[in-house]
Every structure is written in structure tokens, then in C-alpha cells.
Amino acid sequence: MKVFYIFVSLLLLSQAVCAFNPSSSDVKNHIAGCNKHDGFDCMLLGEIYENGTEAISKDTSKAFMYYQKGCNFGENDACSALGYLYEMGVGTDADPKKALKLYTQSCEKDGVKGCFLLGKAYDAGALGLNIDPRKALEYFDKACGNDYADACKYAASHYETGTGTQKNLEQAKILYESGCLLGDDEACQKLSPDLLRKLLKGSN
């Protein structure tokens, strides 16, 4: 059984790598788009420089710059990514208040990552917030409903353990399935091998 889960994890990882491996020419195209005030292109540049690729060296200062541009140009997920850099103090000085403001701004405009990160902040009592598992679940559910895999897994865990809500194992199973189909290997590991095979077969 363990070997099967390892196989699934490697499959999901390989899909993620293939999906995000931009070339130098891709970067040039994104720079051109960003210079024309395309917030999505700016956000993609932020992701590229935050993580680095085979062709592009990691540069968190550039990541911060491009996320900031993307946010200023109205790309909600760029705002949440910028907030995360403020929260962690990456590419800039740590500033929890700015992080919270950016997460909230992003989530209010349906930026799914902002909702997820707000959920995590309420779960942990971070960014000056009081621990509030019920509010955390609200944000996880919202992000999961917009296909954010990690949020589905976190929401499922709340339903599984009855944290911030009544325990609901059927709902937990549904959300783990959603997280798995969206590419979260930890969510996949919560499912039985037979169900996992059916899900993977149905997604192909």
C-alpha cells in the first residue's frame, strides 16, 4: 500500500513540474505583458523568481517587485502572494499587518490563495489574530470551493476531527477526494487505495 501512495505522489509531482517549467522566452513574454500592465503576467514572473527554474535563478527581491506590480494591476492572487512574502519576511521586511491586509483584500475579491492563507492564520492565531477554528474553516471552504487543493485538505481535516464544526466524516471524505483530484498528495493518502484508483482513472 505504501508503494502505491509513493507512486501516486510521484505522479502528481511530475505533473506539477511539467506544468511549471517556463523557459527564458516565456519569461520575456511575461515581462512584455507585465510592462503593459497585465497583472497575471506580473504574478507569473513573481512565481518564477520566487521559486526559480532550470532556466531562471531564484531572486526573492524580483519576486516581491513583480507580485507588487501584479497586485497594483488588480491581480488578486498576486496580492495574496505579496502578503505571504510580507508574512515570512522574504524579499522584504516581515510585516504581519500588511500581510493580513493583503490576504483580506485578495479573499474579498475571490482570490483563493488569500482565503486559504487567512484560514491558516485563524487556525494558528497568526498575524495578530485570535485562534478561531470556525472562521478558519469558513475560509478553507471558500478556497476549496474555488479549486484550491490545500484548502480542501485543511477543510477536510476540520470535518474529520470536528474542529470548528461538528464531526462529519462523509464531508471529510468528499473534501479529501477534491483535494486529491486537484493534486494534493496528502489528501490522496487519506483515501483508500480502491477509491484512489477510481479517482485517478476518472481524472484521465
| Claim to verify: residue 160 and residue 93 sit in the same structural domain | no
The three state secondary structure string of 68-103 is: HHHHHCCCHHHHHHHHHHHHHCCCCCCCHHHHHHHH
Which pLDDT belongs to residue 203?
A: 52
| Claim to verify: residue 101 and residue 137 sit in the same structural domain | no
Domain boundary among 94, 109, 124: 109
| Claim to verify: residue 91 and residue 166 sit in the same structural domain | no
Please, which pLDDT band fits residue 10 given cuts at 50, 70 and 90? very low
| Claim to verify: residue 181 and residue 103 sit in the same structural domain | no
Please, which pLDDT band fits residue 53 given cuts at 50, 70 and 90? confident
Domain holding 54: CATH number? 1.25.40.10
Does residue 117 sit within a domain? no
Does residue 172 sit within a domain? yes
Does residue 193 sit within a domain? yes
Does residue 10 sit within a domain? no
Please, which pLDDT band fits residue 1 given cuts at 50, 70 and 90? very low
Dist. CA 151–CA 115, nearest whole Å: 9
What's the rounded mean pLDDT across residues 129-141? 97
